[in-house]
A = this chain, B = another copy of it.
Amino acid sequence: MILSQTAEYALRAVLAIAREADGKAVGAARIAEELGIPANYLSKTLHQLARAGILESARGKLGGFRLARAGDRITLLEVVGEFDDIRGKRSCLLGRTTCSDHTPCVAHHRWKAVAEKQAAFFRDTTVADLLRAG
C-alpha cells in the first residue's frame, strides 16, 4: 500500500463526504458502513480531520461531518499528510537525513524525478478534481 490504512480511510471518507450534494452533515456511522470501514476507528480519524480544519463536526442529532471548505480548496496532501509523512523523510530512497542536490546519495538524481512527480500529484490534486473524474 502506498498510503497507510488510516490515510486511505481518511481520503475515501473525505471523498464520500464531499459527494454529499448540498453540504449536509453526514454521520460517521453511515460513512463507515458505506465504505466498509470500522466505525469506531473512522470516528477518530474524522475527528482528527476536523481538528486539522479539513472537516467540520457537529454533535447531537442532525450532527455529523461536512467539508470545512469547498472541495476545490482541499488538496490530497492536506488530507493524507495529516496521517502519513508524504514529504520529509520520504525524500531519500536510501533513508539518509542529509540528501540533497548538493549532497546526493547514489540514487538521488534518478529517484528525484519520481518523487517529485508523486509530490506534485498530492500537492496539486484536489478533492474536487477526483469527484469530477468519477
- The reply to whether A93 and B125 form a contact with Cβ atoms under 8 Å apart is no
- The reply to whether A107 and B89 form a contact with Cβ atoms under 8 Å apart is no
Q: What CA separation (Å) do A61 and B11 show in the bound complex? A: 54
- The reply to whether A121 and B111 form a contact with Cβ atoms under 8 Å apart is yes
Among listed A25-33, A41-49, A50-58, A126-134, interface-contacting one: A126-134
Q: What size tier do the contact residues of chain A reach? A: 20 to 34
**In the complex, A2 has a CB within 8 A of chain B:** yes
- The reply to whether B114 and A12 form a contact with Cβ atoms under 8 Å apart is no
The B-contacting residues of A in range 73-87, CB under 8 angstroms, are 85
- Tell me which residues across on chain B come within 8 A of A11, comparing CB atoms: 93-94
- The reply to whether A106 and B133 form a contact with Cβ atoms under 8 Å apart is yes
